[in-house]
């Protein structure tokens, strides 16, 4: 008999909904405030890359989270979100990598949690409670 609290499918659903929903809010904010994309384009250009790559953030913060929430190609969604976080850390947060916040936590704990959550989705997949279980 299985423990009543042992439910892999529900745990994976909670991870998909939580991670996807929270990252999606960042993407929606960028859609509502397009100047943010211009700012990201400037950061990309500062690294010698074409500014059009800034629109990749919409893939990582809108498309991929929706894929994860629905449970469609969840592992690919995880790759896209993890890639988005790695680029965000590289472009904006490298100076904080070894820093603590004023409250004593890691200065990049939010970015770290998003990255680790995305990596977990890559490893775990969607679970049974998904459009396309894997």
- For the chain, which residues make up each domain, given as ranges? 8-124
Identify the three-state secondary structure at position 21.
helix
Measured distance CA(89)–CA(100) in Å, rounded: 15
Describe the crossing of helices 109-124 and 74-88 by its angle, rounded to 10 degrees: 160
- Are the CB atoms for 30 and 57 separated by under 8 Å? yes
- Across the range 110-128, mean pLDDT stands at 97
For residue 3, pLDDT beyond 80: no
Q: What pLDDT digit, counting tens, does each position of 8-53 carry?
A: 999 999 999 999 999 999 999 999 999 999 999 999 999 999 999 9
Q: What pLDDT digit, counting tens, does each position of 5-14 carry?
A: 789 999 999 9
Q: What pLDDT digit, counting tens, does each position of 80-114 carry?
A: 999 999 999 999 898 898 899 999 899 999 999 99
Q: What is the pLDDT of residue 28?
A: 98
């Amino acid at each position: 008999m299985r423990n009543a609290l042992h439910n892999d499918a529900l745990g994976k659903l909670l991870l998909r909904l939580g991670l996807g929903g929270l990252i999606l809010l960042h993407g929606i904010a960028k859609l509502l405030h397009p100047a943010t994309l211009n700012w990201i384009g400037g950061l990309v250009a500062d690294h010698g890359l074409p500014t059009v790559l800034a629109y990749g953030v919409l893939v990582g913060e809108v498309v991929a989270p929706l894929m994860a929430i629905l449970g469609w190609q969840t592992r690919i969604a995880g790759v896209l979100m993890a890639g988005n976080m790695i680029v965000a850390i590289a472009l904006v947060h490298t100076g904080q990598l070894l820093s603590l916040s004023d409250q004593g936590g890691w200065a990049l704990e939010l970015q770290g949690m998003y990255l680790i959550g995305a990596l977990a989705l890559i490893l775990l997949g969607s679970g049974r409670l998904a459009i396309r279980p894997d």
